[in-house]
Amino acid sequence: MNDTEGTTAHHVIPLPRRAGARTDGGAGCLLDEGTGIEAQAGAGFVAQWLRATVGAATGLPLPPHHAGCTSRILLRVTPETGSGLGPEGYRLAIGEGLVTLEGGGEAGLFWGAQTLRQLLGPDAFRRAPLAPDVRAWALPALRVEDAPRFGWRGMMLDVARHFTPKDGVLRWIDLLAAHKLNVLHLHLTDDQGWRIEIARHPELTRTGGWRERTKLGHRASPLWDERPYGGYYTQDDIREIVAYAAQRHISVVPEIDIPGHAQAAIAAYPELGNTDVIDTTSLKVWDTWGVNPNVLAPTDNTLRFYEEVLEEVLELFPSPFVHIGGDECPKDQWKASATAQARIAELGLDGEDGLQSWFIRHFDRWLADRGRRLIGWDEILEGGLAQGATVASWRGYAGGIAAARAGHDVVICPEQQVYLDHRQHAGPDEPVPLGFVRTLEDVYRFDPLPPQLTGREAAHVLGTQANVWTEVLESRERIDYQVFPRLAAFAEVAWSQLPPPQDRDYQEFTRRMTVHYRRLDALGVAYRPPTGPLPWQKRPGLLGRPIEGAPPNV
């Protein structure tokens, strides 16, 4: 097989490791009403998914294979594929009358089914056939062998600033699956809202889930939406989201912010704040953006409160990782707090940075005792890193490099490259000119593996993640616009074995994207067109103008 000859021609994204035309020169396979699915052990859900998803788009019944079938899709998990390509690897062979899909594990089988769907054409991504009388769908004669570069291929969705309802999250799970991404990191709590029901502490959502109004655009903007805003997931909503994701081999990682980004929690339970410094009973859920000075008090009561929160979180999320934030925690209140200073003295800590580290170390041990792993933003390095903690390196590569060299696992997600809420173009037509300009090509040339790391250090890089913060993304359409098409480039970076960034063939990628845009159209994704925003996507006025003298991430 040529490395990517067949799937380049057929516009597969992300690009498989190896693919090519069949060496025997045989024909491809025609799927029609006579096509059946033979699902061997471990293939039951993939068969079900093909019938429900591809069957709905094509109008084909795809029944279990029987003697009367004229063609067959064979699905199986094989030890040989697993030993050669790993549990997420797969092999796909398409010939006359037979499609054979082998996975190294159930996950590999599912990712192979995503490639099969792409090979059927963009209309295979619709929910019903465009031409109900068409009962034949052609697949090219191909052989594909594929496996991911990284085990962690994620997207963080901030549902705290602007809430994505449950059905929207389920939609995002399907979009991630279509791009072979396997981690959905949900940012569930922040100053602007608490989005997960906690039975023992109902005020977290009753009070903390709602703010009185919302800042529009940049935090320097004078504009407000004066309507109350909020929402949250019930525990049954979370169970459904987690189960739906698990079927699609996506892990849902919850984030509960500690010790900063906590004003919504303090508004609900004022005793969590630094009561000897400010009147915490006057705090409300924050209605603007930025770094908030109101942080958790370093008391035994605070620790127990968040242990009770996390006990319920662990019951809902089976993910090995729990994200505890740890970022952007101003220390001013701790400096002024007699309680905080007494705790620093009592424990012999290295000042306020040591106090933040004390929080992180406590919950690292607490989670480890329950068989889980703590992950936090790279500020958790301040004051010393907890032994088992994993670092999400967002302020560039430096935190990830330092953590990997110290023997800690790392997820690389630098804001300069993969914050997809940042603008895609420097022009005035962008809806809100937020942050660094990162084009589709910039994302395609991103490399998650810092070249400074040795082989042993690089083994600590679990993978990469794109982050989507929603301060200025108030609707599904706005999130779509910011995330796509760049998420397709990111998915290829995370999955495929690409050359070094300077040697990547961006033009070839854009050729494959011409078909992928049609897939996104079929899925109803309101992406940013390659030629620039459509008139309805523009937001004229103050929200669409850069702020004079503002920093890039205002």
Retrieve residue 179's tokens: 């791009």
Q: Which of 190, 197, 421, 471 is catalytic?
A: 190
The secondary structure of 323-341, three-state, reads EEECCCCCCHHHHHCHHHH
Give the DSSP per-residue string, 376-388.
Answer: EEGGGGTT---TT
Which tokens is 348 given?
């012999």
- d(CA 186, CA 131) in angstroms, rounded, equals 38
Which one from 5, 312, 328, 457 is the annotated catalytic residue? 328
Residues 6 or more apart from 205 whose CB is under 8 A from it? 194, 195, 196, 197, 198, 232
430 flagged as catalytic? no
DSSP 196: B
3-state helix, strand, coil in the chain (%, to 5): 35, 20, 45
Phi, psi of 155 (to 5 degrees): -135, 130
Nearest CA-CA partner of 460 in 529, 385, 514, 515: 385
Find all residues with CB under 8 Å of 74, minimum gap 6, and list them: 38, 40, 65, 98, 99, 100, 101
CA dihedral over 92, 95, 100, 102, signed as positive or negative: negative
Decide if 441 is catalytic. no
| Whole-number Å distance between alpha carbons of 419 and 416 | 7
Candidates 261, 323, 408, 460; catalytic one: 261
Catalytic residues, by residue number, are 190, 261, 328
